[in-house]
Structure formats: C-alpha cells, structure tokens
A = this chain, B = another copy of it.
Amino acid sequence: MTPKKPEKQVDTKQLLEGFGNQILNDINHEKNPRFVTMVRSKSNILYDDKEGYLKLGAAREERNFINVAQAKKFMQTMAIAAKCHKFVSENLHTSIRGLFYQLKYSLGEDVDENIFNEQAESNPLIEDLEAALSIKRENLNLNANRKGVLAGNMRVIDKFGDDRIEIDTGKQGRSGWAIPSDVDNDIQFVDIKAKYVLVVEKDALWQRLNEDAFWKKENCILLSPQGQAARGTRRLIRKLADEGLPVYVFNDGDAWGWYIYWTIKTGSMNLAYIGKEIATPEARFLGVTMSDVEKYDFLKKMTMRATEVDIKRAQEMLGYQWINKHKEWVAELKKAIATKSKLEQDTLQGPRLTFVGDYVKEKIKNKDWLP
C-alpha cells in the first residue's frame, strides 16, 4: 500500500507570528487587543453523529486585554505563545511541565511575582492557544506523555535532529517500536504492507502475540496503547486508518477496557478540541465481551466479580449517546451490570497460551465484532 502524500506540515512559526502581529496591530490602532478561541467547556462539546466523534460546537470566546477579568489570562497566553515561538524557532521541544518552569523563570530571579504559580494555570491556556490557532500542542514543540508500542510490516522515517533515521517496525524483536509523542512532524510512515491494525490493551498480551509472530503471520500492525491510549498513539491509529487499514480493538471485558475502545473510536471529552485528529470512528471491537462467555465454554470459570466502581462506570457509559445508540453495546453493558461480572483479556491464555491469537483470528474471520 502506497501511503498518502503527507499533508503539508503546519508552519507554526508563521502562525504564531501572525497571531502576535494581529495583537500588535490592535495596539497600533489603539484598539483593545483581543483574540478568539473555542469554548472547551462541557456545554460546547458535542457528539457528531454523522462523523462519529466528539468535537467542539460553534461557541467561541473572545479574550480582551483591557478587561479586569481577562487581563491576567491574556498576558499569560501571550507569554505561552512567545515561549512556544522560541521553542519552534530553536527547533527544540519540551513538555508542558518544562514550559511551565520556563515561564516561572522568565521574570528573572529578582522579581518576586511569577507569571504562573501552578501548572494547573498554564495547562488550559495551552489548550486555548491550540484551539485559537487550530493546531495541536505537538506543533508548538510541546511533547505530550507517550506510551504504546507496535510491530508490523511498515517503516518509519524519523527526521530527528541532524539525522534521517529509518526504522523497520518489523525488526524490533521482543521490544517493539516505542510510539512517540508526535507522529506528525518530521516523521513518516512508509511501505505499510500490513493489512489491518490490531490494538491490544495490555502490553502483556501484546508480548504474547508478538512472541507468536502474530503480526507476521497475519500481516497486521500489532499495537498496544499499554492501557489508556496516549495522544500520540490515538493519532497514529487515526493515521493508519487514513491509509485504509481496518482497525480492530481487543481489550479487557469490563467498563475500563471498553472505555479505552471508545476513547480510540470517538475521542474523549478532554480532547474534543482535536477530536477529528485523534478519533477513529471506523474502529471495531473484537472483545472481550460478556457474550463471549456463551461462545467459549471455558470462560464461565474465568469471570471475575465486578466491583461497585466497575458497575457504576458501566452505568455511566449507558448514558453516553455515542454508545447507547448501538443496541449491541447496550446489551453488553446491561449484561455486565446484571451479572455483576467482568472478564480480563488475559483469561484467553487459559486453555493454551497460543489461544489468544486464535481467538482474534476467529473473531475477525466471523466478523464477530461490536460496532
């Protein structure tokens, strides 16, 4: 499969300069400096039923400098933009914590005041800036936490510093390739020969399938988010789906495993402002389901008692319209609640270690998945 031509990379430096010039322009024309960002609060988060992901609605917010309630935040946002402009110009990255400490330092050692006292203040303003400029923090040279590994017939071209590194994700042995924070800038995925993506919640199960050379025999990309999927991992799944690869998800059979699936599929409320970029509505859920107990006799002995927190979470999920619009999921969740039970994906190793792969293959072959 020939990968799509990479989209033109965002010129963040230019964007930030445009943003700054606009403020300058306001000042030069003796107007109240202002900028517009998207409202990211719950009231403006909606599920796009047609597209199948969580996104922000039309509500916009104007921030003005000459406004007692907004002046401080305005100044703070400008300070963040200036720092990010510096990072992008220097071609250096840091974390949002690193940014916070740079801002803390920036007024110098002799000034008692801080631009920010707590990171809890700077984080939402980074999101304001992302939303105002319609970019992701990765474009601002801010690394997010990363987590996740993969193996499969594909190559990664990572233009890193002065190097152009080629990584064959089919030659990473027991380790797999560690999915980075930013899978968009200066990185390309080429020679994607795999036919589908299999997402496996737990790293232990990924290791099991990797040892069985499952990805090689089935010609898939075997990926584990290692629990809840990080931004980079969600974005990579989206990009692989853009290449035309079907995405199958194989998680624990409980509210948490199921919600990890839903986060991959429809995105999450926290990240609704970049919903389109990280959601994969095409994803399908292979299991583990409560219905599996009826299909695989040995699983009867393998269920665990769900805790009250598990049940409460399943009940909450029944309330989400993007979930309860699927009768199959309503049935699953109700079954979990009624039987007060759950099933780990690890249980599939019960009869024999290699059964895990057979389960996945059978599910895909029989199109035995949930939407």
* Residues of A that sit less than 8 Å from B by CB: 87, 90, 92-95, 97-98, 101-102, 104-105, 109, 114, 143, 145-146, 149, 156, 158, 160-163, 165, 167, 171-182, 187, 203-204, 207-208, 211-213, 297-298, 300-302, 344, 346-347, 349-351, 353-354
Check A167–B158 contact: CB distance below 8 A.
no
Check A104–B301 contact: CB distance below 8 A.
yes
Give A179's nearest chain B residue, CB to CB. Answer: B175
Given A105-B298, A207-B93: A349 touches B173 (CB 8 Å cut-off): no
Residues of B contacting A90 with CB < 8 Å? 353
Check B97–A346 contact: CB distance below 8 A.
yes
Residues of B contacting A353 with CB < 8 Å? 87, 90, 92-94, 98, 102
Beyond A114-B301, A163-B173, A167-B175, list 5 extra A-B contacts (CB 8 Å): A104-B301, A105-B301, A160-B174, A174-B187, A181-B207
A351 to B181, CA, bound (A): 24
A187 to B203, CA, bound (A): 20
A103 CB to nearest chain B CB (Å): 9
Check A172–B165 contact: CB distance below 8 A.
yes
Give A207's nearest chain B residue, CB to CB. Answer: B143
A160 to B278, CA, bound (A): 33
Check A208–B94 contact: CB distance below 8 A.
yes
Query: Could you say which of B101, B171, B179 contacts A346, with CB atoms under 8 Å apart?
Result: B101
Residues of B contacting A98 with CB < 8 Å? 204, 208, 346, 349, 353
A267 to B297, CA, bound (A): 44
